[in-house]
């Protein structure tokens, strides 16, 4: 009822201000109806803290669930779920992975919007296509990489070359036709996908990590002497370049 009164009063304003005000109300209504859960797949948040990264770029509240503690959302309580990255390898399944796979399948069946980043991207592929669609990278990508957006899409925008932070040793491969691939890189053919006709997206890259957070992450990896140490060192000493893909990603995900 309050929204209806606001809309009626705005109609009296006219012009561009009327349009902007209407859009603001629609945006508030969307936020009110959005219930977001983030499944945190990190192993050691003192080194890799995906909740911090997502909190910086999100403009809405969310609930956090720690996969390593077998703590997962009740699907019926949420409209959107983000699956974070992880220091774990998708090829060496942790104890909690099978439970998360079941959560993903149920969410997909219920039409929940799903977004997976890095490990979450790989986990979506395993849950919805099968384990044979992930493998170890021949060429790990660590640092800021060039990403070719090969199909114009609201999710990443128009066809072009963009730049984003990356940190992965495994990758998604050979997806079936139900998946639309719309971004790739020199060493990874599937940087982004969508399960056709669904609100389900996977991103191998880390658009949620801005330059400052990515550099801090790299320093921690080097200090902890995590392998491949040489690649982490090279990335830490490289020149960062970020195209701000996160803005398109979040606008599309919550539309």
pLDDT of residue 164: 98
Strands 63-66 and 80-83: unpaired
Top-level CATH class of 34-253? alpha beta
For residue 154, pLDDT over 90 is answered with no
pLDDT in tens, 71-116: 999 999 999 999 999 999 999 988 899 999 999 999 999 999 999 9
Based on the residue annotation, tell me whether 57 is a catalytic residue of this protein: no
Beta-carbon contacts of 3 under 8 Å, excluding residues fewer than 6 positions away, are 25, 29
Dihedral sign, Cα of residue 134, residue 225, residue 146, residue 214: positive
| Residue 142, φ and ψ in degrees, nearest 5 | -130, 120
Based on the residue annotation, tell me whether 137 is a catalytic residue of this protein: no
pLDDT of residue 94: 86
**Domain residue extents for the chain:** 1-33, 34-253
pLDDT of residue 33: 84
Q: What angle do CA 209, 55, 92 make, to 5 degrees?
A: 60
Reference 90, options 76, 74, 104; nearest CA is 104
Catalytic residue, candidates 118, 121, 188, 213: 118
pTM exceeding the 0.75 threshold for the entire prediction: yes
Catalytic residue, candidates 100, 141, 171, 208: 208
Based on the residue annotation, tell me whether 139 is a catalytic residue of this protein: no
Catalytic residue, candidates 53, 121, 206, 213: 206
Contact 228, 142 (CB under 8 A): yes
Reference 177, options 138, 120, 128; nearest CA is 128
For residue 10, pLDDT over 60 is answered with no
pLDDT in tens, 19-38: 443 444 335 445 558 999 99
For residue 58, pLDDT over 50 is answered with yes
**Looking up tokens 């997962």, which residue turns up?**
72
Q: Measure the N-to-C terminal CA separation of the chain; round to a whole number of Å.
A: 23
């Amino acid at each position: 009822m309050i929204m209806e009164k606001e809309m009626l009063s705005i109609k009296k304003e006219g012009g561009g201000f009327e349009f902007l005000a209407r859009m603001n109300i629609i945006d508030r209504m969307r936020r009110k109806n959005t219930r977001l859960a983030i499944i945190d797949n990190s192993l050691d948040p003192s080194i890799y803290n995906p909740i911090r990264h997502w909190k910086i770029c999100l403009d809405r509240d969310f609930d956090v669930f720690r996969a390593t503690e077998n703590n997962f959302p009740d699907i019926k309580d949420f409209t959107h779920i983000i699956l974070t990255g992880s220091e774990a390898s998708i090829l060496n399944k942790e104890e909690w992975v099978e439970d998360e796979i079941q959560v993903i399948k149920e969410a997909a069946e219920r039409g929940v919007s799903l977004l997976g980043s890095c490990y979450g991207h790989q986990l979506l592929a395993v849950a919805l296509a099968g384990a044979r669609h992930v493998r170890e990278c021949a060429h790990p990508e660590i640092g800021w990489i060039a990403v070719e957006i090969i199909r114009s899409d609201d999710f990443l925008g128009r066809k072009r070359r963009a730049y984003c932070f990356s940190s992965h040793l495994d990758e998604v491969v050979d997806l079936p036709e139900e998946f639309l691939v719309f971004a790739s890189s020199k060493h990874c053919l599937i940087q982004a996908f969508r399960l056709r006709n669904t609100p389900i997206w996977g991103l191998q890259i880390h658009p949620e990590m801005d330059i400052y957070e990515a550099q801090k992450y790299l320093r921690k990896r080097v200090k902890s002497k995590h392998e491949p140490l040489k690649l982490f060192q090279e990335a830490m000493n490289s020149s960062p370049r970020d195209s701000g893909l996160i803005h398109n990603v979040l606008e599309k995900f919550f539309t």
